[in-house]
């Protein structure tokens, strides 16, 4: 069997490039999570999470984006931030909206989404 030609990122469509980037970033994130206590690891994780949010578009990867948002919530919680913090509320609201739009069985009240009341 002849050797396969390497895949060039330039020949892939945008979604395929995003899928590949997402997998690589997710692997890097998983590696850093195990050493999150070491100097610089938390900052690197934050950058990777931002990159993942830029890769996973709400239109074609809402569940993956919601997964990243849940990880962001965990990081914010570990950093001592909680409900009532504008960042925490915004991230949580977006995750709930994405999940509610994808999984109709999740009961998310309009009041919760519109007013952020827990």
Residue 59's pLDDT is 85
CA distance 106 to 103: 6
Weakest mean pLDDT among 18-22, 40-44, 106-110:
106-110
- Alpha-carbon torsion angle 18, 22, 25, 27, nearest 10: -140
pLDDT confidence tier of residue 34, bands split at 50, 70 and 90: confident
Alpha-carbon span 21 to 61, nearest angstrom: 13
pLDDT in tens, 39-62: 988 889 999 999 999 999 888 888
Q: Taking the domains of the chain in order of start, what are their residue ranges?
A: 13-115
CB atoms within 10 A of CB 81: 15
Residue 64: how many other CB atoms lie within 10 Å: 20
Average pLDDT of the chain? Answer: 79
Residue 111 banded pLDDT, cuts 50, 70, 90: very low
Q: Are 74 and 91 in contact (CB under 8 A)?
A: no
| Nearest Cα to Cα of residue 97 among 82, 109, 87 | 109
């Amino acid at each position: 069997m002849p050797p396969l030609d390497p895949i060039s990122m330039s020949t892939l469509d945008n979604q395929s490039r995003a899928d590949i980037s997402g997998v690589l970033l997710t692997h890097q994130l998983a590696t850093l999570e195990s050493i999150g206590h070491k100097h610089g690891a938390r900052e690197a994780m934050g950058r990777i999470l931002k990159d993942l949010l830029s890769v996973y578009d709400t239109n074609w990867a809402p569940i993956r984006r919601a997964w990243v948002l849940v990880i962001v919530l965990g990081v914010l919680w570990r950093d001592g931030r909680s409900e009532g913090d504008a960042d925490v509320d915004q991230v949580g609201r977006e995750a709930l909206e994405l999940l509610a739009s994808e999984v109709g069985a999740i009961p998310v009240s309009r009041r919760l989404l519109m007013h952020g009341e827990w």
